[in-house]
Amino acid sequence: MVISVADAPVNHVKAPLLGILGGTFDPIHLGHLRLAEEVREALDLAAVHFVPSAVPPHRPQPSLGPQQRLALVQAAIADHPGFIADGRELERAGVSYTVDTLKSFAAEFPEHHRVLILGMDAFNGLPQWHRWQELFDWAHIAVANRPGAAATGEVAALLAERRLQPEQLARQRAGGVVALEITRLDISATAIRAALDAGRSVRYLVPDCLLNPLQAYYSDLDSGLNTH
């Protein structure tokens, strides 16, 4: 008999929920910020930690250095009391695996239930992640729609098998998947990098406070000064 996550033992005491939004953030943009804000509201998260990855295992190396990407995250969320720029992956040597990040959150925040926030494109890639099945031992996952991405094959089955309703996350320790509808913003860091490379405006795609630092980083990249 298959027991679904929805049938797992429940706690009667509700735990506070902590959101974790990992990403390359090369650079952070309004798509990331709306994702975090809408998931925070929908799940009543106590806070959302933005965790830039140092050496993303699944993709080409970022154009901006880790400290630049972290600095942009810090600037973008500085006025939001519920958002935290979290450099823990930059302090760890070597490749950043999300499973290790989730373990470090579990050690630091044992009273919270952790919720890993993913856009649908990232959720689709989950079966390629290092020790991905272990992620469910350490956190729930909140997956949000993203223009151009739909749950496919293995992850559609995962979603059906592990699906929980938002109010269940505080009473079950980990292992559930919640699907959330958020405002569709077809914004990507790839398109922003292309615009910056071409000298085009990225206003209204990123927070205004990032326009000057981004321009400075990219003009250093052009002149070969930016060596990370």
Rule CB under 6 A: is residue 159 a binding residue for ligand ATP? no
Rule CB under 6 A: is residue 41 a binding residue for ligand ATP? no
Instruction: With CB under 6 A as the rule, give the number of residues binding ligand ATP.
Output: 18
> Which of 122, 126, 135, 196 lies at the binding interface for ligand ATP (CB under 6 A)?
122
Rule CB under 6 A: is residue 27 a binding residue for ligand ATP? no
> Which of 119, 139, 210, 217 lies at the binding interface for ligand ATP (CB under 6 A)?
119
Rule CB under 6 A: is residue 210 a binding residue for ligand ATP? no
Rule CB under 6 A: is residue 112 a binding residue for ligand ATP? no
CB 111 within 8 A of CB 146: no
> Which of 155, 189, 202, 206 lies at the binding interface for ligand ATP (CB under 6 A)?
189
Q: Calculate the dihedral angle through the C-alpha atoms of 30, 36, 39, 44, rounding to the nearest 10 degrees.
A: -130
By Cβ distance, which residue is nearest to ligand ATP?
119
Q: Is the peptide bond before 27 cis (omega within 30 degrees of 0)?
A: yes
Q: Would you call 7 helix, strand, or coil by DSSP? A: helix
Tokens of 52: 């830039």
Part in contact with ligand ATP (CB under 6 A); list of ranges 20-28, 41-49, 201-209, 220-228: 20-28
Rule CB under 6 A: is residue 187 a binding residue for ligand ATP? yes
Cα separation, 173 vs 76, whole angstroms? 31
Closer to ligand ATP by Cβ: residue 4 or 197: 197
Q: How far apart are the first and last CA of the chain?
A: 53
140-144 and 113-119 beta bridge pairing: parallel
- Cβ count within 10 A of residue 78: 11
At 182, which amino acid appears? I
Closer to ligand ATP by Cβ: residue 62 or 176: 62
> Which of 24, 63, 98, 172 lies at the binding interface for ligand ATP (CB under 6 A)?
24
> Which of 108, 121, 161, 222 lies at the binding interface for ligand ATP (CB under 6 A)?
121
Which runs of consecutive H residues, i.e. helices, occur in 61-197?
66-77, 88-91, 98-108, 120-124, 135-138, 153-162, 189-197
| Site of interaction with ligand ATP (CB under 6 A) | 23-26, 31-32, 35, 118-119, 121-122, 144, 146, 185, 187-190
